[in-house]
Amino acid sequence: MKYSLFPGCSLRGTGRAYEESLLPVLKAVGVELEELDDWNCCGATAYMALDEVKACVMASRNLAIAEKLGHKELLAPCSACYLVLNKTKHYLQESPAVRAVVSKALSQANLSYQGDVEVKHPLDVLVNEVGIPAIKQLVKRPLKGLKVIPYYGCQIVRPYATFDDQYNPTTMDRLLEAIGATVVRWPLKTRCCGGSLTGTLPEPGLLCAYVLLKESVKRGGDVIATVCPLCQFNLDCYRDKMADKWGEETVPDPQHKGGAMPVGPHLDMPVVFFTQLMGLAFGLSETELGLHRGFERMKPLPMQAAA
């Protein structure tokens, strides 16, 4: 199996651990990766706010390069990239006007796009193409007893539900179970983390991310598994600000003194990429997987089997 990798700007920046953990995991399952040559930024949500047609052109350049190089499938780990690339494909299919503009623009670069490139997410590829049985076979250290909160976020399931249910996706759940973890059932699987609002309009933005952390604590999770670098950033890196605003809050818990458990001044719920958990299960080291890059480190695994 060979895929072309579209890392996107975040994976080279704050989401570095995603690429760090994705590469060895894909290698282990036998997926060959080649980085898309000279890929450019997909445009993400910020660009869309300015000029949607130009955003399509930006994204189409990548699709056209992939097509030219004969890559039938592009892997886009970042949810925003995944969305923008798919959205562009839809626009190209549905709107003759957009198609015309994009073709003209691409021709300036001696490129064209016929519509033959599929854009996929690593979660889809791992569970649906590589398959759960193959993944199970590679598990050297099942994450037994680790309670994982599966957080999908928005843009991987909405608006294009290409590989999972929009309201109750289970791809990551099945993957986590395959690597031995206990999946926690919770109602906020696909609730928005706040996106770019956490930086631009902190009051509402941070609240979106905070409620996710709070509910994870309440449901007894040990760690949150994410699929998107922006989600991971929002949940991981603003803990101080959240503590300033909501540090005094508690969640009901009969086992705690007073029937209420403090959410914690630093909301110490670790937030990792699902590929990092996979890597741990495959027996790779924490450093290899970039687990040291999180603002809250994962606690030692409940059961350490000999590698």
Partner 1 sequence: MVKLERTIKFDSDRVPGFGREVMSVPGCEQLESCIQCGTCSGVCPLSIYMDYSPRQVMELTRSDFKNEVLRSTTIWLCASCYACTVECPREIRITDIMYELKQRAIKEGVYPKRFPIPVLAKEFYKMSHTHGRVTENFLATIMFLKTNWVAAMGMWKLGLGLMRRGRFPLKLEAIRRKDELARMMETVDNLAIAQLPNATAAAKKG
Partner 2 sequence: MDKSKQEVRVGFYICHCGHNIASLVDCPAVVNYVGKLPDVVLARDYKYMCSDPGQELIQQDIREHKLNRIIVASCSPLLHEHTFRTATEKGGLNPFYFHMVNIREHDSWVHTDRAEATAKAKALAHAAVDRVRHHRALETKRVPINPAVLIVGAGIAGIHAALTLANAGKKVYLVEREPTIGGHMAKFDKTFPTLDCAACILTPKMSSVGAHENITLWSYSEVAKVDGYVGNYTVTVKHKPRYIIEDLCVGCQECIKACVYKEPKFPDEFNLGLGKRKPIYIPFPQATPQVVLIDPDTCLNLKMGKCKKTCVEACADRQAIDFTQKERFEEVKVGTIIVATGFKTFDAGRKPQYGYGRYPNVYTALEVERLVNAAGPTGGEVVLRDGRRPKTIGIVHCVGSRDNRTNRWCSRVCCMYSMKLAHLIKEHTGAEVYSFYIDIRTPGKGFDEFYGRVLDEGVHFIRGRVGEVTDWAFIPEEEDKLIIRVEDTLGGVVRRIPVDMVVLSTGLEPHVDAQDVRRLFNMSCSSEGFFLERHPKLAPVNTFTDGIFIAGCCQGPKDIPDSVAQAGAAAAEAMALIDRGYIEQEPNTAFIREEDCSGCKSCIPLCPYTAISFAEDKKKAVINEALCKGCGTCVASCPSGSIVQNLFEDQEIFSEIDGVLA
Residue 296 contact, options partner 2, partner 1, none, Cβ 5-8 Å cut-off depending on partner type: none
- Whether residue 236 contacts residue 294, with contact meaning beta carbons closer than 8 Å, is answered with yes
Q: Where does this chain touch partner 1 (CB under 8 A) — which range of 126-134, 141-149, 188-196, 254-262?
A: 188-196
> Which phi and psi angles does 138 have, rounded to 5°?
-90, -5
- Integer Cα distance of 144 and 142 in angstroms: 5
Which stretches of the chain bind partner 2, using CB under 8 A?
A: 165, 167-168, 186-188, 211, 215, 252
Instruction: Give the torsion sign (CA, 195, 200, 201, 207).
Output: positive
- Whether residue 40 contacts residue 93, with contact meaning beta carbons closer than 8 Å, is answered with no
Tokens of 34: 């080649």
- 3, 19, 21, 43: which one contacts partner 1 (CB under 8 A)? 43
**Residue 68 near partner 1 by CB under 8 A:** no
**Residue 50 near partner 1 by CB under 8 A:** yes
Task: Report, in Å, the least distance between residue 52 CB and partner 1.
Answer: 6
Q: Cα(first)–Cα(last) distance of the chain, in Å?
A: 27
Task: Report, in Å, the least distance between residue 165 CB and partner 2.
Answer: 7
Residue 22 contact, options partner 2, partner 1, none, Cβ 5-8 Å cut-off depending on partner type: none
**Residue 39 near partner 1 by CB under 8 A:** yes
**Residue 154 near partner 1 by CB under 8 A:** yes
Dump the DSSP string for 7-62. --GGGGTTTHHHHHHHHHHHHHTT-EEEEPTT-----HHHHHTT-HHHHHHHHHHH
- 10, 88, 226, 275: which one contacts partner 1 (CB under 8 A)? 10
- Whether residue 291 contacts residue 17, with contact meaning beta carbons closer than 8 Å, is answered with yes
- Integer Cα distance of 170 and 173 in angstroms: 5
Residue 246 contact, options partner 1, partner 2, none, Cβ 5-8 Å cut-off depending on partner type: none
Count other Cβ atoms within 10 Å, centred on residue 248.
9
- 185, 203, 258, 304: which one contacts partner 1 (CB under 8 A)? 203
Task: Report, in Å, the least distance between residue 267 CB and partner 2.
Answer: 17
**Residue 201 near partner 1 by CB under 8 A:** yes
For residues 225 and 291, which CB has a smaller minimum distance to partner 1 in the complex?
A: 291
